[in-house]
Amino acid sequence: MSAAIDFYFEFSSPYGYFAAERVEALAERHGRTVDWHPVLLGVIFKSTGMAPLTQVPIKKDYVRRDWERISRLTGIPFKMPSVFPIASQNPARAVLFVARSDEAAAKQLALALYRAYFVDNKNIGEVDVVREVAAAQGLDADAITEGMADPAVKDQLKHEVGAAEARGVFGSPFVFVDGEPFWGFDRFDMVDDWLKRGGF
């Protein structure tokens, strides 16, 4: 059994959302599994002195257009949320909490949260919205609400973000295949090639 692919993503990141829609199929084609890691890119940006896309005016209009083009090209639905970006602690904590008992359910929740945000324009930064999305996935909304508020879950997220940064994660999506780093949804073809050829 080959090692799992590590998939890092930020809930405010459209490129992370597109990747989340494709990463499992990509891994499966090569007999791999995926470990999903929600991270807080804002924290990493602050500590590394980087500016988020949305704070660079000249980039802002471009990336919006790019997201819409990717949606049209790939057929992955995308609608620019009215509140963007958002603080993504709540959805990230919810996913970490669910993953403690059920990894598959945590992945499904992550994807459902992404779709709620980037297709249905729901502000998944809010506890009530996370509850609603979780409930629609058949999960226990009350348990998840407690999980999001649990200091141990909060600490775990802090630790995960620190570990990601230490590993070199500086964007979303960010993927590691057998230690090799790939940044961006636009590197998924390269990841595919890497997996097919066992590196190049």
Name the residues that contact a second copy, by CB under 8 A: 48-51, 56-59, 61-62, 65-66, 69, 72-73, 165, 168, 170, 181, 183-184, 186-187, 189-190, 193, 200
Pairing between β-strand 5-9 and β-strand 34-38 as defined by DSSP bridges: parallel
Least distance in Å: CB of 187 to a second copy? Answer: 7
**Catalytic: 101?**
no
Shortest distance in whole angstroms from residue 105 CB to a second copy: 32
Q: How near is the Cβ of 76 to a second copy at its closest, in Å?
A: 14
Structure tokens at 176: 């590691």
CB of 8 to a second copy, least distance (A): 13
Sheet-wide strand order for 5-9: 34-38, 5-9, 174-177, 180-183
Cβ closer to a second copy: 66 or 160?
Answer: 66
For the stretch 147-150, contacts whose Cβ atoms lie closer than 8 Å and that sit 24 or more positions apart, written own/partner, are: 147/93, 147/94, 147/97, 147/98, 148/90, 148/93, 148/94, 148/97, 150/97
181: phi then psi, degrees, rounded to nearest 5: -90, 140
CB-wise, 98 or 177, nearer to a second copy?
Answer: 177
Q: Which of 13, 71, 88, 172 is catalytic?
A: 13
Of residues 25 and 58, the one with the C-beta less far from a second copy = 58
Q: Which residues are catalytic?
A: 13
